[in-house]
Amino acid sequence: MPKRYPPEDPREWLNRARSNLARAKVKHKGVYLEDLCFDAQQAAEKAIKAVLIKQDVKFPYIHDLAELLTLVGETGIKIPKSMRVAGELSKFAIFTRYPFESSPIEEKEYRQSVKIAEQVVKWAEKIISGKRR
């Protein structure tokens, strides 16, 4: 169990991001890939918001990762090009929560969403730890 921090501490947001990422990586019988992709999106969202908290930026409670990354970029933190794909996860914040008329998530898309979330969390960890700006 990770150490808990106050909600205004970026380390707590990273803890929550890691928790969502851990859930996203574990496939269980009877669990939709859509639900795991939602956890991947949440991991990336919370990691980005941890960076914004670290920078003392008030952020809107939105799920658009591209918009959140734009806010991070406005603080002077360089956003690697590889991170821009995180915006693709935004779609999982809404349509995967509820039964909608859409095609089920395929294994390849699921694996890609987890990979993107992992990259975002690792990037945020470096910034929060002060190893990168």
For residues 44 and 18, the answer to whether their CB atoms sit within 8 Å is no
Quote the pLDDT of residue 103.
81
In whole angstroms, give the CA distance from residue 111 to residue 116. 9
Residue 89 tokens read as 């996860």
From residue 25, alpha-carbon distances to 4, 47, 96 in Å are: 22, 16, 16
Task: Return the domain boundaries, the chain.
Answer: 10-129
Q: Average pLDDT in the 68-93 region? A: 93
CATH number of 10-129, picked from 1.10.3720.10, 3.40.50.10860, 3.20.20.70, 1.20.120.330: 1.20.120.330
pTM attached to this predicted model: 0.93
At 23, the pLDDT band (50, 70, 90 cuts) reads very high
Written as one string, the DSSP assignment of 69-100 is HHHHHTTT----GGGGGGGGGGGGGTTTTS--
Task: State the average pLDDT over residues 62-90.
Answer: 94
